[in-house]
Structure 1
Amino acid sequence: MNFEDSSEPSQAELEQASDESSPMSDERYRLTHPSQIGTVLRDLAWQKCIVNVHARSGHDLVTTVLHVDPAARSFVFDWSRSETECEALLESSENAFSASLRGVPVNFVIGKPAATDFQGGPAFVASFPEKLYHFQRRRHFRARTLVTKGYSCELRTPKGQVMKLDIADLSLSGVGLRSKALGVEQLPSGAVLEKCVLDFRELGKLTVNLQVVGHWAVSSQNGGIYHFGCAFSSLDGRLENFLQRLVFQLELAHRG
């Protein structure tokens, strides 16, 4: 492994979590029991998490979970100021939800919601999804990247195809990659990718070995966008120090 550091060293205190290590399959995160699904939805409501909804028609809505009814196996989420967005969701047979709960990705899909009234205002109500993916917390703090920066990862797929993916986030444990061109068939869970080049432009480059530990669709529009969670393999101390500085710099840039 090698890396090229074009930035000055910075000292940082990074948050760390003590949860379990990275998973090897999305199915480890799949929840199907209504009580488990209800617990996650209640947490989303309690934490007032921002939830992104993507309708099959291509419309997007930003909302929050307002109320969860475990007995009825339904939940209420906030209305939109845009009537176009509301109509799109009410007519869509498939609506994909994505959120971050305490830094942990949550994804699920529902059918058509219905209009309802909640505490005197308009809202949506929908049945619990049949399954919900609640991804484990990473071992280390994860910094998201700014899309406008154009950070990328060049890698060779198991079939020998050289591809360039966007870098969505970075931690001391691994990196999140996104692509419109690659699907789960080209980068399946468990695949080992050697000599991947992570290019953070003005912040530097590094060459690492990665292993795909999970994947999910973040959008179904225009062929879909897939997110690939990848773990670092065999990092030495010097590279870890560089990653720590890099994660801190990315977080500062995102907050700024």
Structure 2
Amino acid sequence: MMKKTYPTDETTSPPEQTWIPEDEKNENFRLHSRVDILFILKDLKQSDSLVTLYFGEENSFILTSILHIDVDNNEIIIDYGTDAIANQRVLSSNELLFVTRQNRIKIEFICNQIKKTQYDGKDAFSVNIPESLLRIQRRDSYRVPTPIAKPIKCLIPLVMESRSTNAEITLLDISCGGIGAIDKQNSLNLEPGSVYINCQIALPEIGILKTTIKVKNTNEIKSQTGNIYQRVGCEFIDLPPKTESLIQRYITKQEQMSKTSNRS
């Protein structure tokens, strides 16, 4: 294995750490699900993302990356630093903060123990898989288009003429903040400010989202065949962290598929 090299000059600007006091942390950003944590860590490894490891009271740091995730032994193997003195300081630190980005979203997790190990015949660090992880993003966050060939529907429960029914809109894109969609059946008269509860969105290979949506904006669009449809922008209301993590998993999967397609 060729030893990786990272920029170490004083002009290097590492991702800024977020030391958030415990009573100020927004738990909507924190993941506790082991499945979701492993999914994010494996994506960071696969994409060879640069990770900043902060240590010590002076916020010293080294640049590293994830080499291997050993689920059975509950440990992450990360690349060893290039500075021997800094490596020793890392090994003697009691609290270590890892900061990186995934799909423009800031990822942070803390480990309290670290040890020196060997990986592929080279020195490396070993830390435990974190029990929780912060994924910090803006509500107007990164969105991905949804497939045209196999459109994703959002089912909206309605009561019409004293009976329950489901209307549907077709997704154009999705983010952790909301959706863009089109009413191809022209069955709804969606107005800005309208709120719909218990809506369902089935994300392929991910799961079914149950959420409340609020219509933010609408406009008419004309198809190539001359048909007029209503396009809507909706935001998610009080999105649970578990549901948000499913959306992020879908976004990550779509990004990976896009990268694979571009390379082929």
- Kindly indicate whether structure 1 or structure 2 has the higher relative contact order, using CA contacts under 8 Å at least 6 residues apart: 1
Larger Rg computed on CA atoms? 2
- TM category (shorter chain) comes to 0.3 to 0.5
